Amino acid sequence: MKKQLLTAFIACFALAASAQKAVLSLDADRANIKINPNIYGMFSEHLGRGIYGGIWVPKDAKVEKQGRIRMDVVEALRKIQIPNLRWPGGCFADEYHWMDGIGDPAKRPKMVNTNWGGVTEDNSFGTNEFMQLCHLLHTQPYISGNMGSGTVQEMSNWVEYLNFDGASPMTKLRKEDGVDKPYGVQFFGIGNESWGCGGNMTPEFYVDQFRRYATFAKSYHDAPLKRIASGANSDDYHWTEVLMKGIPHNMMWGISLHYYTIPTGNWGKKGSATKFSEQEYFNTMKNCLHMEDLVTRHSAIMDKYDPQKKVALVVDEWGVWTDAEPGTNPSFLYQQNSMRDALIAATTLNIFNNHADRVRMANLAQTVNVLQSLILTKGDQMILTPTYYVFELYKKHQGAKLIPLHLISPAYTMGGKTIDAVNGSASIDSTGKMHISLVNLDAEKANPITIDLAHTKYVKVNGEILDAKAVTSVNTFEAPDNVKTTGFTDYKLSGDAGNQVLSVNLPAHSVVMLEVN
């Protein structure tokens, strides 16, 4: 079988080389690694209008609510089956003292959000409100604990409040807040960006602090805690090396990684979310594809110390970061969301899927009204962004088995630089259906792709596509359906049973999901 696949792949390679077409060869017989649904997680920080004004609205807001939780946002997120939600930060996490956010909301002390605009928050959205949100979303909570300015006891008490079911001071406090049974939170971050806003620590110092804090962040009966270490900033491979070497692997479930796609590559002037040339678009995609190298190299370091891959790589902050929209508070990080952002999301998720042996959790930054949002709100209006529709398409990969693939892509060249025009990932679900997600990054040129389905019994294909008039296309409150998914039929299945070839024409700047059964 392997020899036959190799022969077919060599033939496909020759075809691609001669015709400059994309060719995809799938090895369905080796589909044995599960794509963890948690790869499709979200992140909501106390930042700008992400929580306050996005998810948590005023009592008199003219929208459907449960308490003060905005239900049209909840229903949209339910539809795409988000598996987990990270909160309260981000940089905010290491200045957040959880006990200020419980009890009678009218008596909660106010606080200053020093990281994001110096605004004063009333702490009306705290632990129990977040847990209510997760319950409504049917999703798992992922809480980031305060290591930067908090104490070991404070973190320990928070875990006890969340997860202990016996008699204790924190259980008593939780019951006084109207919550009789523990929440059973699993995912818990021990600090955030400890190399930066979380304390400006060295990795060696962080390792010692992690071991101390994690010791007292207990697992309780029926509530095993999955502790996540604050991992590297982008390509800081030394940080990963020190953590993997210095933290006992049974103390941590995962190590985080943060990487943002900056269109210009310049943090001082990141570029517009909506007004950019094709050259800037190309550079953005090149920066996006750097995620492949990051995941590969961090994984290799982890493999050295953990060859059995017990420790997860958790990319719990990722996405495109542009300049804030003109006329908005620059500290609130509100940005529009274009077809370019959808292509970034789809490409990044393909990378995570293809590294499912090590990447077992990820969180898009962020969910509502901040950075690469799925949802934008204005008063009683709500729109879904192009990025939202990518997650709607890709939910079919959640929990499915990854199909190893070999992809030969034509080049997308600009300004003397080249990237692969086409990327993809594939999986097979519990019913035997195959799902193939394909992305054409070329801004102007359609790219045909030939998919080798030899040695399979698939006879039926259905397709969906996300595309737009231009890579700058956006959804607005006046025109909310400019960019959305539609049916896709530009494909042809040919050949005899057991020897089929699927020919697909990928339009320029598009995302295609094929279901084959």
The CATH number of the domain holding residue 338 is 3.20.20.80
Rounded distance between C-alpha atoms, residue 259 and residue 287, angstroms: 10
Q: Domain boundary at 402, 437, 456, which?
A: 402
- Full domain range(s) for residue 463: 2-30+403-516
Is-contact 101 122, C-beta < 8 A?
no
In 237-254, which positions are buried (b, 16+ CB within 10 angstroms) versus exposed (e)? eebbbbbbebbeeeebbb
Catalytic residue among 45, 121, 160, 317: 317
Give which of 95, 175, 117, 91 is closest to 331, Cα–Cα.
117
170 and 25 housed in the same domain: no
Burial of 281 (0-12, 13-18, 19+ CB in 10 A): buried
Backbone angles phi and psi of 427, in degrees to 5: -150, 165
At 36, the amino acid letter reads N
Render the burial of 440-460: b for 16+ CB within 10 Å, e for the rest.
bbbbeeebbbbbbbbbbebee
**Overall number of domains in the chain:** 2
176 is catalytic: no
Which CATH number is 475's domain given? 2.60.40.1180
Alpha-carbon distance of 228 to 312, in angstroms, equals: 9
* Calpha distance 319→183 (Å, rounded): 30
Q: What is the pLDDT of residue 495?
A: 83
Which three-class secondary structure string do you get for 432-484?
Answer: CCEEEEEEECCCCCCEEEEEEEECCCCCCEEEEEECCCCCCCECCCCCCCCCC
Q: What is the pLDDT of residue 441?
A: 98
Residue 387 shares a structural domain with residue 477: no
Say whether both 205 and 293 belong to one domain.
Answer: yes
- Encoding tokens for residue 392? 């709607």
The candidate with the shortest Cα–Cα distance to 141, out of 160, 157, 128, is 128
72: helix, coil or strand?
helix
In angstroms, the CA 320 to CA 260 distance is 6
CA 87 to chain CA mean position, Å: 14
- pLDDT by residue for the chain (517 residues), tens digit each? 444 444 444 444 444 444 478 999 998 889 999 999 999 999 999 999 999 999 999 999 999 999 999 999 999 999 999 999 999 999 999 999 999 999 999 999 999 999 999 999 999 999 999 999 999 999 999 999 999 999 999 999 999 999 999 999 999 999 999 999 999 999 999 999 999 999 999 999 999 999 999 999 999 998 999 999 999 999 999 999 999 999 999 999 999 999 999 999 999 999 999 999 999 999 999 999 999 999 999 999 999 999 999 999 999 999 999 999 999 999 999 999 999 999 999 999 999 999 999 999 999 999 999 999 999 999 999 999 999 999 999 999 999 999 999 999 999 999 999 999 999 999 999 999 999 999 999 999 999 999 998 767 777 999 999 999 999 999 999 999 999 999 999 999 988 766 789 999 999 999 999 999 9
Dihedral angle computed from the Cα positions of residues 57, 60, 66 and 71, in that order, rounded to the nearest 10 degrees: -60
The structure tokens 């409504």 sit at 136
CA atoms of 517 and 503, how far apart (whole Å):
16
Residue whose token pair is 């930067």: 148
Q: What angle do CA 28, 437, 517 make, to 5 degrees?
A: 50
Residues 431 and 307 in one domain: no
Q: Domain check: are 250 and 265 in the same one?
A: yes
* Pair 306, 246 in one domain: yes
CA distance 207 to 130: 29
Q: Which residues contact 260 (CB under 8 A, 6 or more apart)?
A: 317, 318, 319, 320, 321, 365
Do 392 and 408 lie in one domain? The reply is: no
Query: Longest C-alpha distance within the chain, in Å?
Result: 72
Tokens matching residue 458: 């698939």
Give me the residue label for tokens 């024409």: 505
180 and 124 share one domain: yes
Burial class of residue 312, CB neighbours in 10 A (0-12, 13-18, 19+): buried
H or E stretch at 504: strand 499-506
In 3D space, the residue among 47, 199, 209, 206 whose CA is nearest the CA of residue 115 turns out to be: 47
Q: Catalytic: 75?
A: no
User: Which tokens in the block code for residue 114?
Assistant: 């020093």
Query: What is the pLDDT, as a whole number, of residue 361?
Result: 98
DSSP state of 28: G
What is the rounded CA–CA span in Å between residue 433 and residue 386? 26
Question: Among 324, 233, 215, which residue's Cα sits nearest to residue 270?
Answer: 324
Last residue of a domain, one of 378, 402, 426: 402
Do 278 and 427 reside in the same domain of the chain? no
β-strand partners of 259 = 318
What's the pLDDT at 142?
98
Tokens representing 405 are 């693939």
Sign of CA dihedral 468, 429, 31, 251: positive
**Predicted pLDDT of residue 95:** 97
**Are 382 and 424 in a shared domain?**
no
Can you tell me the distance from the alpha carbon of 345 to that of 108, in angstroms, rounded to the nearest whole number? 38
Which backbone phi and psi does 96 adopt, to 5 degrees?
A: -95, 125
Inter-residue contact 44 to 368 (CB < 8 Å): yes
- Of 347, 374, 402, the residue that ends a domain is 402
Which uninterrupted H or E stretch holds 172? helix 169-176
Identify whether the C-beta of residue 149 lies closer than 8 Å to the C-beta of residue 95: yes
Q: Are 400 and 427 in contact (CB under 8 A)?
A: yes
Question: 361 and 279 share a domain?
Answer: yes
Are 354 and 423 in contact by the 8 Å Cβ rule? The answer is: no
Peptide bond into 203 cis (omega under 30): no
Q: How many CB atoms lie within 10 A of CB 160?
A: 21
The structure tokens listed for 193 are 């960006």
Amino acid at 415: G
Distance CA 206, CA 479 (A): 48
Domain match, 292 and 339 both: yes
Active-site residue identified among 45, 193, 392, 464: 193
